[in-house]
Amino acid sequence: MKIVDLSKTIAYNKQDPWFMRIKIKHKSHQQSKFLIRFFLGLPARLFPKGFEGWADDKIVGMGVHAATHIDAPWHYSPTVNGAPAKTIDEIPLEWCYGEGIVVDMTHKADLEEITVADIRADLEKSGAVLKPGTIVLIRTGRDQYIGTREYPMRGAGMSAAATHWLIDQGIKVIGIDQWGFDLPLKYMAQTAKKQNRQDYFWQAHLVGQEKEYCHIEQLVNLGALPAYGFKVSVLPLKIKGASAAPARVVAIFE
């Protein structure tokens, strides 16, 4: 069996937007000796031979959308077609494991929408087949900008029509290897104002107001995968009532 990691490393990066910077505090083995001796009351003379204390770490101020993560329906809207939207701890785990396919959209320019025709053309070219429960991974190649100031501002983006179409094929989980699922946020806001359009901003996310689905953002390494012939595991942390959760996303070849 071969496993390919599709997840970002969780680490501090000063180039990330200030509200998404992840801080990790590391506690060394030596630092924990104080805790063991005074809080637990175990004198140093009774430490096992060679025991230096235990290492420990704390993630400070990490938002659930800051790393490779899967968004729950609750992120997009409090309701889906009038029914309460699922939070991340409520989504069925069956959605999170299944056959995977890669749709190659690396030819799409920054700020260009990914359309139904784009996806259908690539499926015809690659021979990948959509089946209910397939996990669809959209490869844009913008993971190359991770760690730079450009990362949130680069990328194509899923159109509402393409998102609707995939869900209508029985797809519950769609992933993408760029900062966000839609076109870059600032660009969408500027365009909505410029064109005076109410239907433009966050259009792919807001498909979730009508149809239940999840998407994965900030994937990496999709270029290491073939178009099909592997499984995907994207198990989120079980955070009560959350809109999303970090996930270790992997492709599995058996």
pLDDT digit string (tens) for 79-133?
999 999 999 999 999 999 999 999 999 999 999 999 999 999 999 999 999 999 9
Residues 39 and 97 both lie in one domain: no
Integer Rg of the chain from CA: 21
State the pLDDT at residue 190.
Answer: 97
CATH number at residue 103: 3.50.30.50
Please report whether residue 143 resides in a domain. Answer: yes
Query: Is there a contact between 216 and 175 (Cβ–Cβ < 8 Å)?
Result: yes
Please report whether residue 80 resides in a domain. Answer: yes
Pairing type for strands 69-71 and 79-80 reads: unpaired
Residues 171 and 248 both lie in one domain: yes
Last residue of a domain, one of 36, 60, 84: 60
Please report whether residue 10 resides in a domain. Answer: no
Q: What is the pTM of this model?
A: 0.95
Average pLDDT over residues 172-188: 97
* Enclosing domain of residue 86: 69-253
Query: Is there a contact between 62 and 242 (Cβ–Cβ < 8 Å)?
Result: no
Residues 73 and 38 both lie in one domain: no
Average pLDDT over residues 162-188: 98
Pairing type for strands 113-114 and 157-158 reads: parallel
Please report whether residue 8 resides in a domain. Answer: no
Residues 170 and 101 both lie in one domain: yes
Number of domains composing the chain: 2
Please report whether residue 52 resides in a domain. Answer: yes
Residues 127 and 54 both lie in one domain: no
Last residue of a domain, one of 33, 60, 87: 60
